[in-house]
Structure 1
């Protein structure tokens, strides 16, 4: 039987390191502004040989229809070699590729970097044992660490 205090401590540590719990979303605090965090993400992705397909400014989209939204940008990136290897496990994975990372600022001013966990994506498509998941997870973790300074 697990000790309830251990569970409470683990839960507290998890909550303190993420903005909120969203199934399959890896979230890291950023010490940088939203723009600098996104610039660092785009630069890191490019330096690691990945292609940036799009950078989408959701806050600008909201402003274009007279609405306001905290700074929120999405980066879509990847490469055919890695994506093809992932899709070889289940072609339906193509709906979740290319990879995406979101940078946003919450109402308290904290900036966050988030991305879908490759293991979660693989589970969604029924291929949790896909051989590329560990390498892809490690690559995304490394990119996030380089961006936010973990």
Structure 2
């Protein structure tokens, strides 16, 4: 009975995850470049790319390869911030690309419902649009041909 309860609790916590993590078949740099190109082709703005690994190295520390691409649609972001200016703490959107402990490259981002649940937003269509875009961007960005 304890095992069954544990499995039910575990499955519920996995379903309630605020982070979506996908594996990429590309390197960290290739994945980041793919994200940037896809975002630009969609007419969105790439605001910054932060290289956490390089920043760690600059202070004499080690960190697995990891970069964050920060991007968005100012029109959509502004509409959300007009409802709750504090949503600006979580906008623009971002995708973390990193090499995990197994040496595989992953992409991680927050589910858009997290944004709606943590701010006073009533914008289900806009949140669905964010989720759809993030899914498509990461799916395409993680596809690389291997020899």
TM-score per shorter chain, which class? Answer: 0.7 to 0.9
Stretch of structure 1 that moved more, 118-127 or 94-103: 118-127
TM-score for both structures, normalised by structure 1: 0.81
What is the 5 A alignment of 1:69-84? 69-84=63-78
RCO (CA 8 Å, sep 6+): is it higher in 1 or 2?
A: 2
What is the aligned-residue RMSD (CA, Å)? 2.4
Of 14, 19, 37 in structure 2, the residue corresponding to residue 43 of structure 1 is 37
Helix, strand or coil at the partner of 1:133: helix
What is the 5 A alignment of 1:82-93? 82-93=76-87
Alignment coverage as a number of residue pairs: 137
Of 91, 99, 107 in structure 1, the residue corresponding to residue 101 of structure 2 is 107
Show structure 2 runs of 5+ residues with no match: none
Show structure 1 runs of 5+ residues with no match: 16-20
Over 3 Å off, 4+ runs: 128-131
TM-score for both structures, normalised by structure 2: 0.82
Answering whether residue 134 of structure 2 is matched by residue 135 of structure 1, we say no
